[in-house]
Amino acid sequence: MEPSVSFFSGFAPKDLLFLGEAALRTMWISVLSISIGTVLGVIFGWILYEGKWAAALTVAPVLDVFRSVPLIIQLVLFYNFAPIVGLNLDPFASGVVILTIYTAALVANVARGGIEAVEPPMRRAARSLGMSYWQDLRYVVLPIGGRAVFPAWVGVALGVMKDSALVSVLGYVELLKASQILITRTQEPFLILTISGAFYFALSYPISRYAASLERKWAQ
C-alpha cells in the first residue's frame, strides 16, 4: 500500500469511471423527470386546451410560474422549504420533483399546441365514424398532433437534460458536480470539462439522431 496521500493528484483512469458513473446519474435523473414530466405535461396541456377560461385562471398561471422562475431558484427553495412542510427529500428526490414539474410546465404548452394542430374538421371526421371522444384523442389527435410538436418536445427534453446539471447545487453528484470535484482535486479544468462536455454530448446526440430519423420516417 502506498501510504502517502496527496491532496492534489493528476487525472487518473479511475476518474473517468467516476465521471462515467456521474453521467449515468445525469441520465437517470433526466429520464425520470422527462418521462414523468411529459405524462403530466400532456395532461396539463389537455386541461389548458379543454378548460378554456377556467384553466386560463387556474392551471395556466401556476405553470407560468414554474416556466419563468429560474430552475436554480426553484431547486434551492424547494430543497430548503420542503422539510418545513414535513417533506424530507434527499437532493436526488428534490431534483426529480422540481425537474419533473419544470418539464411538465414546458411540455404543457407543447402538448396544447399539438392538440390545436389537429383541425376541428379532422376530429369531426373521426367522431363521425363513431369514435368516442377518447378514441379520437388516442388514435387521431395523439399521433397527428404528437408528430407535429415532436421536434419541440425533443428540444424540451434535451434542455431539461442539460438543466439537470443545476441539481448539483443541492449536492447531488451528477456530471457537473463530479467534474467540479475532480477539478478541485486535479486542477485540470480544461481536460475535465472537455470530458464532461463529451459525456453530455454522448447523452444527447443519440436522442437527436433518433428523433431526426423518426421525423424523416414520418415525413414520407
Partner 1 sequence: MIEIHDLHKYFGSLHVLKGINLNVEKGEVLSVIGASGSGKSTLLYCINGLEPVQQGNVMVDGTDVHAKGTDINKLRQQLGMVFQQWNSFPHLTALENVALAPKIVKGKSKAEAREIAAQQLKHVGLGEKLDVYPSALSGGQQQRLAIARALAMEPEYMLFDEATSALDPELVGEVLETMRMLAEEGMTMICVTHEMGFARDVSDRVAFFHQGVMEEIGPPEQIFGNPQSEHTQKFLANVR
**What residue ranges bind partner 1 (CB under 8 A)?**
121-122, 124-132, 135, 139-140, 143-144, 147, 218, 220
Q: Which residues lie closer than 8 Å to 18 by C-beta, 6 or more apart?
A: 178, 182
Closest approach, Cβ 111 to partner 1, in A, equals: 17
Cβ closest to partner 1, residue 5 vs residue 219: 219
**Shortest separation between residue 188's beta carbon and partner 1, angstroms:** 50
d(CA 59, CA 43): 11
CA–CA gap between residue 128 and residue 115 (Å, rounded): 19
Task: Decide: 35 and 99 in contact? Cβ < 8 Å.
Answer: no
How far is residue 145's CA from residue 198's CA, in Å, rounded to a whole number? 34
Q: How far is the CB of 181 from partner 1 (least distance, A)?
A: 47
Query: Is 111 or 140 the residue whose CB approaches partner 1 more closely?
Result: 140
Task: Using the minimum distance from each CB to partner 1, give the nearer residue, 137 or 167.
Answer: 137
Shortest Cβ distance from residue 133 to partner 1 (Å)? Answer: 9
Question: Cβ closer to partner 1: 68 or 128?
Answer: 128
Residues 8 and 200: their CA atoms lie apart, in Å, by: 26
In angstroms, what is the minimal distance from the CB of 126 to partner 1?
Answer: 8
How many residues comprise the chain?
A: 220
71 neighbors 103 (Cβ within 8 angstroms): no
Which one, 88 or 128, has the nearer CB to partner 1?
Answer: 128
